[in-house]
Amino acid sequence: MADWKQNLQQTRYVMDALFLLSFIVVSAPKATGVVLHEWLSVLFIVPFFIHILLHWNWIKSSLTRLIESRSFKERFSIVSCYLLYVWMLLVFVSGVLVSVSLLPALNIDLAIQDFWLKIHIQSGKLMMPMIGIHLALYWNWIKRFSKSMLMQGRGV
Amino acid sequence: MKYLQRNWRSRLLMTLLISSLLSILLVALDQSEWAAQVNAQGMESGNGGEHHKGNKSAVLMMILPILKVMILTGVPMFLTILLMKILITFKRFTYRRTQKIVSD
pTM summary value = 0.86
Q: Which pLDDT belongs to residue B53?
A: 53
Asked casually if ipTM beats, i.e. exceeds, 0.90, the reply is no
Contact (CB, 8 A) for A49 and B4: no
CA distances from B70 to A20, A68, A131 (A): 10, 35, 11
Helices A139-154 & A114-137 angle (0-180, nearest 10): 70
Q: Which pLDDT belongs to residue A23?
A: 96
Full DSSP string of B36-88: HHHHHH--SSTTGGGGG-TTS-HHHHHHHHHHHHHHHHHHHHHHHHHHHHHHH
Mean pLDDT in consecutive groups of 10 residues from the start of chain B, 104 residues: 79 94 94 91 59 69 93 97 93 86 80
User: Do the chains contact at A118 and B26, CB–CB below 8 Å?
Assistant: no
Low-confidence ranges of chain A (pLDDT < 50): none
User: In chain B, what residues touch A11 (CB-CB under 8 Å)?
Assistant: 1, 3-4
Q: Which pLDDT belongs to residue A53?
A: 93
Cα torsion A7, A8, A13, A17 to 10°: value is 110
Cα separation, A47 vs A31, whole angstroms: 21
User: Do the chains contact at B23 and A28, CB–CB below 8 Å?
Assistant: no
